[in-house]
Amino acid sequence: MNLYDFSSLTQSIHQGLSAMMAPAWVTVTEMVLVGVVFLLFYALVGLALVYIERKVCAFIQNRLGPNRVGPYGLVQTVADLIKLLFKELLMVHKADKFLFNLAPFIVIIASFLAIGALPFAKGLQALDLNVGLFYIISVTSLTVLGILLAGWSSNSKYSLLGAMRSGAQVISYELSVGMSLLTIIIFSGSMQLSVIVDSQADGWWLFKGHVPAFIAFVIFLVASTAETNRGPFDMAEAESELTAGFHTEYSGIKFAFFFLAEYMNMFLAAALAATVFLGGWQPLHFGGLEAFNRVMDFIPPLVWFFGKTFALIYIIMLFKWTFPRLRIDQLLTLEWKYLLPINLVNILVVSWVVLKGWHF
């Protein structure tokens, strides 16, 4: 099905540019194009997610949410961003100035590096490494470095406690994220994201992989919610205990970047779950229902990708607004005494299933 193949588009852009200028300039122009597209995409998704979260929160708490700025309050987050841009940048006098300024760079760059490797549609992927999944896991774990630096360099007790909690939480749940993704690598036999998506053309791994894939999917959702420091696992910035956790001392646009990075990490987690377990941009197919499959093929892959991603984001947001916050010892117990042993057994079951060829 090549109805919506983006590689022809990128090729025609490449050819059009080659006809106009020297090869070196073509590369530079393409780089700038991709960079601008990513920048716009990042800002747009970030703003949209803040708006969606406030609306979901309002819906659950039986309020209206933002509804004054623009139609349905759609421009509210833009207004907030402009306000934050013109706010004074405060810094504690006794803080470590270099590390304090470095921390927002690290969190934003880490999320940028990870989002670049996502396959949005066929041929629409900036970075298709043969170790794609491994790359994303390793790059996202850089975020904890930024959080620890932010907390420590502020020279504030709330920040330090928040950063320490966050460090313990993120590294613990990183294990579960890695292990639940491992099951799909065993199934598909590749770490390359485009290959993993292609292997789901006849059915998503959530359905093809029987029960173990479903267990891995649930574990991934829980663990990645915890890894992105979102409620009910938002111990790092528990408002009622630690003011704002690791970014207590940040103000203005630097604070906004921590906020933005958190939302983009949530987008990344949902997009990764959609790509690996729910077929990415592949349409929903059922074996034997030829007519149904044809109809599904006509829905563009970008719609499929973002539909799945935002459905998962909605679930993650529901987690935050409906569950009470866990205590830190309950959180670590959940990871080390439940998720980790279940994951180890699950991987063994998956490799047995693959060995016997029981998956579809």
**Single residue of 76, 77, 143, 154 touching another protein by CB under 8 A:** 154
Cβ closest to another protein, residue 193 vs residue 312: 193
Contact present, 109 and 261 (Cβ < 8 Å):
no
Which of 189, 211, 287, 323 is the binder for another protein (CB under 8 A)? 189
| Shortest spacing between CB 257 and another protein, in angstroms | 6
Our finding on whether 59 is near another protein (CB under 8 A) is: no
Q: Of the candidates 324, 359, 62, which has an alpha carbon nearest to the alpha carbon of residue 202?
A: 359
Token output for 146: 């930024």
Q: What minimum distance in Å lies between the beta carbon of 279 and another protein?
A: 19
Q: Is 160 in the site for another protein (CB under 8 A)?
A: yes
Residue in 73, 104, 212, 280 binding another protein, rule: CB under 8 A: 104
Task: Give me the residues paired with residue 124 across strands.
Answer: 121
Interface with another protein, residue 90, by CB under 8 A: yes
Q: Write phi, then psi, for 334 (nearest 5 degrees).
A: -55, -45
Q: Which of 243, 300, 321, 349 lies at the binding interface for another protein (CB under 8 A)?
A: 243
Measured from the CB of residue 288, what is the shortest distance to another protein in angstroms?
26
Nearer to another protein, 56 or 126 (CB): 126
By CB under 8 A, the residues from 293 to 312 that bind another protein are none
Write the DSSP assignment of 165-217 as a string of letters. Answer: HHHHHHHHHHHHHHHHHHHHHHHHS---HHHHHHTTTTS-HHHHTHHHHHHHH
Residues of this chain, 6-25, that bind another protein according to CB under 8 A: none
Classify the C-alpha dihedral 257-262-263-266 as positive or negative: positive
CB of 188 to another protein, least distance (A): 8
Which of 58, 75, 129, 142 is close enough to bind another protein by CB under 8 A? 129
| 182 is a site residue for another protein (CB under 8 A) | yes
- Looking at 178-186, 217-225, 283-291, 300-308, which segment touches another protein (CB under 8 A)? 178-186
Type of residue numbered 356: K
The site for another protein, by CB under 8 A, has a size of 79
- Going by C-alpha positions, the residue among 296, 292, 268, 291 that lies closest to residue 281 is 296
Distance, CA of 135 to CA of 45 (rounded, Å):
22
Closest CA to 321 of 61, 85, 112, 126: 61
Is residue 91 near another protein by the rule CB under 8 A?
yes
Establish if 333 lies at the interface with another protein (CB under 8 A): yes
Q: Give yes or no for residue 354 binding another protein (CB under 8 A).
A: yes
Among 239, 292, 344, 360, binds another protein (CB under 8 A): 344
Which range touches another protein (CB under 8 A), out of 47-55, 125-133, 207-215, 292-300? 125-133
CA proximity to 255, closest of 83, 8, 15, 31: 83
Task: Tell which positions 247-276 bind another protein, by CB under 8 A.
Answer: 248-249, 252-254, 257
State the sign of the Cα–Cα–Cα–Cα dihedral 155, 102, 222, 130.
negative
Rounded to whole angstroms, the Cα distance separating 124 from 10 reads 8
Which H or E run contains 107?
helix 97-115
CA–CA distance, 234 with 39 (Å, rounded to integer): 27
Verify binding: residue 172, another protein, rule CB under 8 A.
yes
* Of 209-217, 276-284, 300-308, 352-360: span binding another protein (CB under 8 A): 352-360
**Cβ distance to another protein smaller for residue 168 or 299:** 168
Give me the residues paired with residue 223 across strands: none
Least Å distance, CB 63 to another protein, is 28
